[in-house]
Amino acid sequence: MNISIKNLSQVFLCGALLFAGTSCSDFLEEPDKSNFTVDTYFNKPEHAESAVNSIYESLRATTGGGFNGAPWMMLEFATGLANTELGQAVNSIFVRNLVNNSDNTYGGTYWTSYYRGIANANLAIDKIPGITMDEAQKNKFLGEARFLRAHYYFNLVRIFGKIPLITKPVELNSPDLYPSPAEVEAIYTQIVEDLVTAESSGLSFTNTTGRVSLGAVKSLLAEVYLTMAGFPLQKGTEYYQKAADKAAEVIQTGQYTLFDTYDGLHSVATENRGEHIFMVQFSGSIVNSNGLQVSIIPYNQGISAYSDETGAIFANKEFVESYEPGDKRVQEKQFYYKNFTLSSDRTKTVDLGGYYIYKHFDNEAHLTTTSSGMNWPLMRFAQVLLTYAEASNEVSGPSTPAYDAINRIRKRAQLPDLSGLDQQTFREAIWRERWYELSFENVTWFDMARLRKAFNVSTKKFDNYVGHQFSYGPVLKERELLFPIPTAEIRNNKNLVQNTGY
């Protein structure tokens, strides 16, 4: 069964409602369409499918944009490399100026939506084994559920630190209704267990429908091992080796490749294939179209068919101008853009006065349709190559395969190959490539936290995280290694402990 999730918003809703035992009679054909409960629902193969589809829905919740910003921006403003023209988006400004607090709705959205995804995953993992159906398909569904649960926990533990670890469905009389936080290592142990189990679930190595693939499982596991090798667990060489080995498994299959041009990064035609390993799925033809587009265009400059031009996020000038001379990624309309035609007269071009994000730019939506079906990238092959290069260098220093991995990325950027570096110089070269190549893809802040390093756009070196000064003034403190647990969660669950400094 090869089922696309591109247009399954209704299925997602149905599956999400299962957690509350609520009917979704418009979608499922049953004799009694108003009497579904958790106990009576899971008895058909299609019930397994809808339960797993519901887990994907939470991927969408943190993306998007508008005049209030969007949760995904939290991880970008925390790097010190992003700017905004949207004065009313106070959640963005608080993070950017390092005066964030636990009332920030961005953090609240991450917490509630990802725990909703975890709850749906727990339900699927608990109930699907009891359904009579094709065993191979059953295992694939369970593999998808475990991958998605691992993904949500991986983000939550990095964002918030010690958090509740729940792996079973929760009912009103459950001891996990008001759970205590688990140790960070216990959460990582569960993440690895889920991904290792998913590896053997029979998933295809690639999947162009948007569902979880074996390649996505291995790629995420490589990133998890890389993180475990660094802070806060500091497991070191053993886990760098695990990360290198897992990334090598993905690379050596030849199933993924870099796009020849950067246009492939923001083309609907290339979604879920080529360089894209795993993405959040959107469709321009349904209400859940991608709302990101209004956020990455300048404020009210009249360049887009969209009536809302918010200027919610764009790149700091100092960061973009720190790229190496000749780097194709900073040429006009590659990763960034400074000029665009006016919507009122496409023969006229305006200088926008800043570096706006082009790698997520949907040309068709801005020029004509005002409805974007462009997916959001969660994992692409360039990241796997850089993970391999970094992890292998940490184990044994520069090697031919590590140089090959990073130079594939540099070649596309029209930069000379790296060679002849010592371990420390190569280490920082790899870090710079991660900062430059993976910019504005919700990767950079996670790298800062695991490395305890921040990129200095003036020196092009790496400062210690704590004490690093952003180019516009604020200085990182130890508290910024984590985000605050949302106020509502602390208020409702007295077992939770607020992170230090908030």
pLDDT for res 286: 65
Half-sphere exposure of 333 (CA within 13 A, CB side): 7
Q: Which residue type, as a one-letter code, is found at position 356?
A: Y
pLDDT for res 173: 87
Closest CA to 143 of 62, 204, 201, 205: 201
Q: Which residue type, as a one-letter code, is found at position 309?
A: E
| Cα Rg of the chain (Å, integer) | 22
Phi, psi of 80 (to 5 degrees): 80, 10
pLDDT for res 36: 62
Whole-number Å distance between alpha carbons of 222 and 247? 5
Domains of the chain: 9-202+485-492 (1.25.40.390), 291-374 (no CATH)
The per-residue pLDDT string of the chain (502 residues; one tens digit each, 9 = 90 and over) reads 444 444 333 333 333 333 333 333 232 233 444 456 777 789 999 999 999 999 999 999 999 898 999 999 999 999 999 999 999 999 999 999 999 999 999 999 999 999 999 999 999 999 999 999 999 999 999 999 999 999 999 999 999 999 999 999 998 888 889 999 999 999 999 999 999 999 999 999 999 999 999 999 999 999 999 999 999 999 999 999 999 999 999 999 999 999 999 999 999 999 999 999 999 999 877 654 678 999 999 999 999 999 999 999 999 999 999 999 999 999 999 999 999 999 999 999 999 999 999 999 999 999 999 999 999 999 999 999 999 999 999 999 999 999 999 999 999 999 999 999 999 999 999 999 999 999 999 999 999 999 999 999 999 999 999 999 999 999 999 999 999 999 999 999 999 999 999 9
Whole-number Å distance between alpha carbons of 256 and 471? 37
pLDDT for res 10: 34
CB 227 within 8 A of CB 446: yes
pTM, entire model: 0.93
Whole-number Å distance between alpha carbons of 131 and 140? 14
